[in-house]
Amino acid sequence: MEVTVLVGNPKAKSRTRTVADAVARRIADAAGAHLGDTIDLSDHTENLFAWQHEGLDALVERVAASDLLVVASPTYKATYTGLLKAFLDRYGNDGLSGVTAFGVMTGGSAHHALAVDTTLRSLLVELGASVPTRGLYFITSQLEQLDAVVGEWAERHLVLGGPPGPTARAGGHR
């Protein structure tokens, strides 16, 4: 089993990517999975709207073949970025069927904390992904506490040390 990360921040090597990679490590540990690729869409902006593009087609296939997928975006206008949406528009309604996805959004304040579950989750479900738990909304001023914040999210939403595979509780504390 492998965890793939998809980052929709227009800025390369962003804080959003740092948070997404930390979440992926936690999920990999909890599921006994291997850390796979981090696909940073900022590296592919020049080809994103070329509908027939071998490199992007390969990325689309890689994401769809993921066992576990962390999808991350900064919050733009109370939702995910257009960059992420443009990439995900390459899938049909069930293009992520069989993928277990975890949403991550970053922002400067808690004002849009529900965006990860009201906008990103809806998009992933529309594409056929299973989204078994609440996403993580990470306030970027807490970057120095990254491990603690991600650890608290994982403790609340992932069953750690359980049987192999992504097992999530319905919510709340154990």
170 has pLDDT over 90? no
* Mean pLDDT, rounded, for 79-107: 96
Instruction: Indicate whether 128 pLDDT > 80.
Output: yes
pLDDT in the model for residue 51: 82
How far, in Å, are 29, 47, 109, 128 from residue 100 at the CA level? 15, 27, 28, 9
The residue-averaged pLDDT of 45-60 equals 91
Assign a CATH topology to domain 2-157: Rossmann fold (3.40.50)
* Amino acid 50: pLDDT: 86
Which residue intervals of 80-139 are DSSP H helices?
Answer: 82-88, 115, 121-126
What's this model's pTM, rounded to 2 decimal places? 0.90
